[in-house]
Every structure is written in structure tokens, then in C-alpha cells.
Amino acid sequence: MNFEFSDEQKQMGAEARRFLAAKCPTTAVRAVLESDQPYDQALWAGLAEMGFLGVVIPEEYGGLGLGYLELCVIAEEMGRALAPVPFSSSVFLATEFLLAAGSDAQKAAWLPKLAAGDAIGTFAHAERAGAVTPRTIQLVAAEGRLTGAKTAVPDGEIADFAIVAARSAPGSDSRGISLYLVELTQSAVTRTTLQTIDPSRGHARLDFAGAQAELLGAAGEGWSILEQVFDRAAILTAFEQIGGADRALEMGRDYALERMAFGRPIGSFQAIKHMLADMYVSATLARSNGYYGAWALSTGAAELPEAAATARVSATQAFQHCAKNNIQVHGGMGFTWAFDCHLFYRRSNLLALNLGSQSTWEDKLIARLRARNAA
């Protein structure tokens, strides 16, 4: 039994933690949150230099050519630091779509730039409120041109290109959906920055007026590729959430030790202790479920879809639970702009939605467990 990250992988995580502690204190997160600056460019350049933007990209495309376990430990540190950079868009989504379905030419054109941090990529599929299903994707693709709009696109304001889910055959079923690679710098694309619950990570509306686009993967396979890539991204995001949950728990614990009320540290009251113990329980379950996902991702196990949904549901629960109760432990101070609690609260709620809602993933988890039991 070796259900643990290797010493080398842990060392890589420790290195990432040291780097982020120096380059990404919460003041850096606030700098993005409180200004028009869409992301921390210096941090992004530093991450590229460390090789963290191309961990799983093969060496022939300028990446480190390492495995997903290495990427998981880095994702955890990015979550812990609330890094205000397009890491998840570029690394968990754009890179994964290219690796899963890109042609050799598309990979050669974009992967080296992604690895070097010279290009930022993202993914766009949502068009309206409510869960994204094949029926809700109505942006039209015809003769290599896209017409329609996508909303809440992460890093849509700054990305150089996006993978866009579009309807290439009329109707409502999943077989009419294809993926397209679209350069966002062209004039047929209009970007509108959106006001969001977590301004430390930018989101935009993208309007396509006959924008030039090239097919990514086979026509009509868009939905199935999307599901596969989302499973992978869910596991990587789970580690980001695990990192955030751990840090929120630590903040709550530290404050409970230091804050005095009624003549004693508030951490000596059982009401506070039990709240923190329950946060520890959620964080521990999420970590163990995350390891399950990491194992499935790194080995390509047949269980990957259910492992992904398990990791995702558990990590979303844990980060939301720890972030909201961290504010509760802090009392009134936790609701001030000056304290960092809200940074974690905002991020936990952003990450709970960015790959589809919790109820969507709960539904997937049970459907997948059922399919496995029936098999």
C-alpha cells in the first residue's frame, strides 16, 4: 500500500509553498481584488520560470513532462495562496483540452506558449443562468465562424485564446456540439469584464460576431470531450480547494488561540473547538477523497469519472465549510474588509461554481456509482 505522494512530489509542493509565500502573500491577492489589474503579472511570470505552468506538458512542447501527482501538489499550493492568476484556466482547462483533443499543429502552436506563460488559454461554455447541459449551448458554429455569446468565462478578459463549446448542428442533443479553438484578440470578439463575487479572479462575457474558429477534436464529439476534461479539471481543482480549506482552518485555529473573550482564549470554548474540529473533519475527508482522484488521474483508472465526482463534491463541501466557519470563528472582525477571511469565502464560493454547481456534481456522482454497480 502506497497511497501517498512520494518524497520528491512533497518536496515539489514545499518548493511551491515557499515560492508562493514569498511572491503571493494575501496583499498580492488584494492588489488584484481592489484594482482594475486583471491578474498578477509578476507572479505569473515567476510561475512560468519555475516551470509550474507546464508540469504535465510533454518536454517536446516545452513542458516539464511530469505527471499529474506533481500537478496536484502544486494546485494545492495555488489554492492555499489564493493565487490571483489564470492558472486554472490555462493549466486545468486550456492545456487539458489541447492534450485531450488538439491536433499536432494545435499542440505545437499553443502548448509551448502555455508552458512558458507567453499565452493564456481558457474555456467557454455557459450562456445563461442554470446548469450547462447540451440543450443550453446555442452559440452557433458554421463554416469555421462562431456567432453568439458566452458568459462568466474565467480570464476571458486576458486570455489569448479560448476553447469554445458551440452548436455545429441544430437541435438540442449532445451530438450537435463541437469544440472550437478561437483567438480572442480578433476584432470579431468583444470582451466585457464582469463584476463577480471574487474579483481576485477575473471573468468576462465574450460576444462572437462571426469570429474565426478552428475545430478542436472531431465534430460532434464536443460534449464527450468536455465531460472527460471536466473530470480531470475537477480533480485538479479539488486540490486547489483542499489547499484553501486547510489555510482557512489554520486561520480560524490561530485566531481562536489568540483572541481573548470572557478572560480566556475563545479556542477554549467547546462551541468554537467543536466548530474547528468539524472543519478539520471536512478537510481531512476532502484530502483523502482528493488522493483517490489523484490516484485515478495519474493511473488513468477506469474509476476516474466517479473518483473525479467524489473528489469534487468533497472538496467543494470542505472549502465552503472551512471558509464560512473561519468567518464565524473570527466574529465581527471576520466580516471586515481588512481581515483576509472574505478572500477565502469569496474564492470558496467561486470554485464551487466554476466547473458546474455542487448539485450537478452530486448528480454525476450518483449516476456514475449506479452505472458501476449495474456493470
Which CB, 99 or 369, lies closer to other proteins? 369
Which CB, 169 or 367, lies closer to other proteins? 367
Residues that bind other proteins (CB under 8 A): 1-6, 69, 253, 256-257, 264-265, 267-268, 270, 272-274, 276-278, 280-281, 284-289, 291-292, 294-295, 298-299, 309-310, 313-314, 317, 359, 361-363, 365-367, 369-370, 373
46 with 85: CB under 8 angstroms? Answer: no
Distance CA 321, CA 302 (A): 30
Which CB, 42 or 366, lies closer to other proteins? 366
Smallest distance from the beta carbon of 272 to other proteins, in angstroms? 8
Smallest distance from the beta carbon of 90 to other proteins, in angstroms? 25
75 with 12: CB under 8 angstroms? Answer: no
Smallest distance from the beta carbon of 347 to other proteins, in angstroms? 21
Which CB, 15 or 250, lies closer to other proteins? 250
Residue from 146, 295, 277 nearest 214 by CA: 146
Smallest distance from the beta carbon of 156 to other proteins, in angstroms? 30
Cα angle value 284/245/7 (rounded, 5°) = 60
Smallest distance from the beta carbon of 70 to other proteins, in angstroms? 11
Which CB, 136 or 196, lies closer to other proteins? 136
Cα angle value 242/245/247 (rounded, 5°) = 110
User: Which residue type sits at 172?
Assistant: S
Smallest distance from the beta carbon of 287 to other proteins, in angstroms? 8
Output the DSSP codes for 217-260: SSTT-HHHHHHHHHHHHHHHHHHHHHHHHHHHHHHHHHHHHH-E
Distance CA 104, CA 293 (A): 28
Which CB, 5 or 344, lies closer to other proteins? 5
